[in-house]
Amino acid sequence: MSREFKRTDRIGEQLQKELAQLIQFQVKDPRLGMVTVNHVKISPDLGHADVYVTILGKDTEEEAKEDLKVLNSATGFLRREIGKAIKLRVLPHLRFRYDVALVQGQKLSSLIDKAVAEDNARSGSDAADNQQEG
């Protein structure tokens, strides 16, 4: 059984690939850090595309605000270059957003690791106590 993809999903994946390459190799702004394009969500009418990015070393949206300004100011250039690579009748307007899901996932993962380590340490000390009693 094959999974069906909506057209907007396919276009979003293609935009993600193109934007990642364009931002890495074509955008020459020194204020811009290392940007990762995580996801592109396109509106059903193809009018807007929300581009979710993370920036290396910036863990909050406040820290990434300057980078987002640079990306949002480069939307004209990026749309023009995407228009050359992808043939669409309507090219969506790009809106760059900071992706908090990755940072939240890392925080949750570290909390889980910490809880597991504490549980292991607690069960290890319980086992040592049982050995001394027996």
Range of the domain at 120: 101-134
pLDDT tens digits along 63-110? 889 999 999 999 999 999 999 998 888 889 999 999 888 778 888 898
Split at pLDDT 50, 70, 90, the class of 129 is low
- 120 and 55 share one domain: no
- 68 and 80 share one domain: yes
- 65 and 87 share one domain: yes
In a domain, 34, yes or no: yes
- 77 and 117 share one domain: no
Burial class (CB in 10 A: 0-12, 13-18, 19+), 50: middle
In a domain, 1, yes or no: no
- 111 and 87 share one domain: no
- 78 and 13 share one domain: yes
Residue with structure tokens 């939240």?
104
- 92 and 28 share one domain: yes
DSSP bridge partners of 53: 37, 98
- Which of 9-13, 55-59, 72-76, 124-128 has the least mean pLDDT? 124-128
Q: Which helix (H) or strand (E) holds 51?
A: strand 48-55
pLDDT tens digits along 31-47? 888 999 999 999 999 89
Tally of structural domains, the chain:
2
Work out the average pLDDT over 116-134. Answer: 72
- 86 and 34 share one domain: yes
- 105 and 126 share one domain: yes
Percent of the chain with pLDDT over 90: 49
